[in-house]
Amino acid sequence: MPPPLSPPSPPPLSDEEAYFDARDTLSSSDRSSPRPPVMIPVHYSRIEPLPSPQPPPGAELSIFRLAKEMLTSVKPGADVTNINLPASILDPVSTLEKAKKSMQRGELLQDLCAASDPESRMLNVIRFNLSGLAKERFGKKPYNPVLGEVYRCAFAHKGSGGETLLVAEQVSHHPPITALHLHNDTLGFQLNSHTAPEPRFWGNSLEVKLKGEIRIVLSRFEDEQYVITRPYVFMSGFLAGRQRLEFNGTSSFKCARTGLAAEIEYHRAKGPLSARGEMNAISGRIYKLDSDETVYTLAGHWDKKVHITHVNSKQQRVLFDYEAVVADKSMLAICPPAEQEEPSFSTRIWADCSTAISNGDTGEANAQKRRVEDHQRRLKKERNVAGIVWKYRYFIDRDNGDGYELLPELRKTQLVKLDLEAPEIEGLRSGELVKQMHMELMKETESSEGKGRNGGRRRLLSRRGNNKV
């Protein structure tokens, strides 16, 4: 079955129409005024593979060289959040859009929501969390999302798993904070999270703390809630030594209702260890909150295999097999048609810059990047002068002020309607379409390695069509 084609794109708008007016989503400083009804467009019709093609070998080297040139003037310990990078080193995709990688192995949700006992559910929460880590060559940097930028897509599960909706929104620009919501009414699954990266430069390395929590709620089990923290990202070798990007630090998992918790330590390879295959090593335990008694120990490599051992019985088994999960649990994103994208939709905001990058036109890419950024600065100035307070589009603050949740009225409505042909839906429900598009993606990636850095991404953008309407 051939891959689905993107629908023809509507004609582009003028320069003034091409950018959303942030004032449309502002409120006055008086937040007591009633908020107008908010609706999320529900139609999804464009199928895309996950993840996007990887940069070819060697692409990361040029990035490190340029980073070396730019960061030699930055003092150790300095916050580098606001360093302005030229478009020539950018990946033509927004960080907000990359949030969909949390669902790249989303079929694991069916295992999680079907688990009958608390221990199995905790272990499956860990599996799902590990599956969202990106195993790829890290090369160019994605765009920094602008304030109010949004991204949406849906995922159709195999069998009777229904659909999972993903909604992401940039709720703050300084500091940068991204809010994310996933939910699947069929499986009784919800996830709310926010990410506030804090990058620090330390001479030969860059440390990015990923502040913010992930909250998973399972409605089938009396709204059982899992609160998860993230490790941080560590990039080294800017000035000397081998160039590496890896996770480091501790990730915690807690479920107050079941009384179970877990902690996973991500180990940073040092010296020659990485040459011996010790990259991406993790260890940890699953334990009882009330007594701190360890139930399972955990060890392995998140990009290979992770084993758990039951403390009392000493029985060991595989908790997470990366290659097996990729083969059996991968999913495809289903994106909205161009006419149902919000004015602030990620691919719409960055369409001209992405086209220029993919065409290798650095000058035009820089011009389009400045155009987006200058427009945002002008809107910020207007808000400051008018004393207007920014209001999120799809999210609200949690009651305790720690994080964000989807608007309550949006959680009660059907938010996904698949506008696909019957063979496409059948291919998604059987899993055959995922396998087919994965093979196509691998071929594109191999081709791009031989033909240039942006080859695979350019073809993917071509199939998607021009998202700027």
Report pLDDT digits (tens) over 335-390: 999 999 999 999 999 999 999 988 888 889 889 999 999 999 999 999 999 999 89
Name which of 131, 86, 464 is nearest 329 in CA terms: 131
Range 66-97 burial, b when 16+ CB lie within 10 A, else e? ebeebbeebeeeeeeeeeebebbbbbbbbbbb
Q: Are 63 and 89 in contact (CB under 8 A)?
A: yes
466 has pLDDT over 50: no
- What is the CATH code for 22-464? 2.40.160.120
Q: Tell me the mean pLDDT in the region 234-257.
A: 83
The pLDDT-based confidence of 51 (bands split at 50, 70, 90) is low
The pLDDT-based confidence of 82 (bands split at 50, 70, 90) is low
The pLDDT-based confidence of 297 (bands split at 50, 70, 90) is very high
Please report, rounded to a whole number, the percentage of residues in the chain having pLDDT higher than 70: 74
3 has pLDDT over 70: no
Residue, of 129 and 52, whose pLDDT is higher: 129
pLDDT per position as a tens digit, 275-288: 545 789 999 999 99
Ranges 75-84, 296-305, 327-336, 403-412: which has the least confidence:
75-84
What confidence score (pLDDT) does residue 77 get? 57
Please give the model's pTM, rounded to 2 decimal places. 0.83
Please report, rounded to a whole number, the percentage of residues in the chain having pLDDT higher than 90: 57
**Number of alpha carbons in the 13 Å side-chain half-sphere of residue 147:** 23
> 278: helix, coil or strand?
coil
> 211: helix, coil or strand?
strand
